[in-house]
Amino acid sequence: MKRAIVSSLLLITICIFAKGQRKTVHLPDLPGYVTLKCDFHLHTVFSDGDVWPTVRIDEALRDGLDAIAITDHIEYTPKKDYIPVDLNAAWKISESYAKERNLILVHGTEITRKMPPGHFNALFIKDASLIARDSVWDSFEAAIKQGAFLQWNHPGWKSQQPDGIPKMYDIHKRLLKNGWIHGIEFFNDSEYYPVVFEMCKNNNIALMGNSDAHGLISEIYGKDSNRPMTLVFAKEKNHDSLKEAMFAGRTMVYFRDVLVGKEEYAKPFFYECITVTKPFYQNERNLYFEVTNKSDIPFYLINGVENAPAFITLAANSVTRVVLNKSVKVPLQYDVKNILTGEKEVLRVELKY
Between residue 264 and residue 283, which ones bind its own copies under the rule CB under 8 A? 280-281
Determine if the peptide bond prior to 228 is cis (ω within 30°): no
Min dist CB 145 to its own copies, Å, is: 26
Min dist CB 315 to its own copies, Å, is: 5
Q: Which residue, 97 or 271, is less far from its own copies as judged by CB?
A: 97
Q: Which residues pair with 348 in a beta bridge?
A: 335
Q: For residues 200 and 206, is the Cβ–Cβ distance under 8 A?
A: yes
Min dist CB 205 to its own copies, Å, is: 21
Q: Which residue, 144 or 208, is less far from its own copies as judged by CB?
A: 208
Nearest to 119 by CA among 59, 183, 62: 183
Choose, by CB under 8 A, the member of 80, 179, 285, 311 that binds its own copies. Answer: 311
Choose, by CB under 8 A, the member of 80, 102, 326, 330 that binds its own copies. Answer: 102
Q: Is position 100 an interface residue for its own copies (rule: CB under 8 A)?
A: yes
Q: For residues 208 and 252, is the Cβ–Cβ distance under 8 A?
A: no
Choose, by CB under 8 A, the member of 28, 101, 130, 132 that binds its own copies. Answer: 101
Name residues contacting its own copies, limited to 32-91 (CB under 8 A).
45-52, 54-55, 58, 62, 73, 76, 78-79, 82-84, 86, 89
Count CB atoms within 10 A of the CB of residue 69: 27
Q: Is position 330 an interface residue for its own copies (rule: CB under 8 A)?
A: no
Measure the CA–CA gap between 283 and 324, rounded to whole angstroms: 11
Q: Is position 6 an interface residue for its own copies (rule: CB under 8 A)?
A: yes
State the DSSP string of 222-242: TTTSPPPEEEEEESSSSHHHH
Q: Is position 192 an interface residue for its own copies (rule: CB under 8 A)?
A: yes
Min dist CB 196 to its own copies, Å, is: 12
Q: Which residue, 197 or 255, is less far from its own copies as judged by CB?
A: 255
Q: Is position 317 an interface residue for its own copies (rule: CB under 8 A)?
A: yes
Q: Is position 315 an interface residue for its own copies (rule: CB under 8 A)?
A: yes
Min dist CB 52 to its own copies, Å, is: 4
> For the window 203-242, what string marks contact with its own copies as x by the rule CB under 8 A?
---------x-xxx-xx---x-------------------
Choose, by CB under 8 A, the member of 39, 63, 185, 189 that binds its own copies. Answer: 189
Measure the CA–CA gap between 69 and 73, rounded to whole angstroms: 12
The helix or strand, by DSSP H or E, that contains position 169, with its residue range, turns out to be none
Measure the CA–CA gap between 347 and 335, rounded to whole angstroms: 6
Select from 30-38, 139-147, 191-199, 265-273 the region that touches its own copies (CB under 8 A).
191-199
State the DSSP string of 267-331: HHHHHHHEEEPPPSEE-SSEEEEEEEE-SSS-EEEESPPTTS-S-EEE-TTEEEEEEEETT--S-
Select from 19-27, 172-180, 327-335, 342-350 the region that touches its own copies (CB under 8 A).
19-27
Name residues contacting its own copies, limited to 128-187 (CB under 8 A).
154, 157-159, 164
CA dihedral 261, 265, 267, 268 (to 10 degrees): -150
Nearest to 53 by CA among 119, 103, 97: 97
Measure the CA–CA gap between 47 and 18, rounded to whole angstroms: 30
Min dist CB 177 to its own copies, Å, is: 29
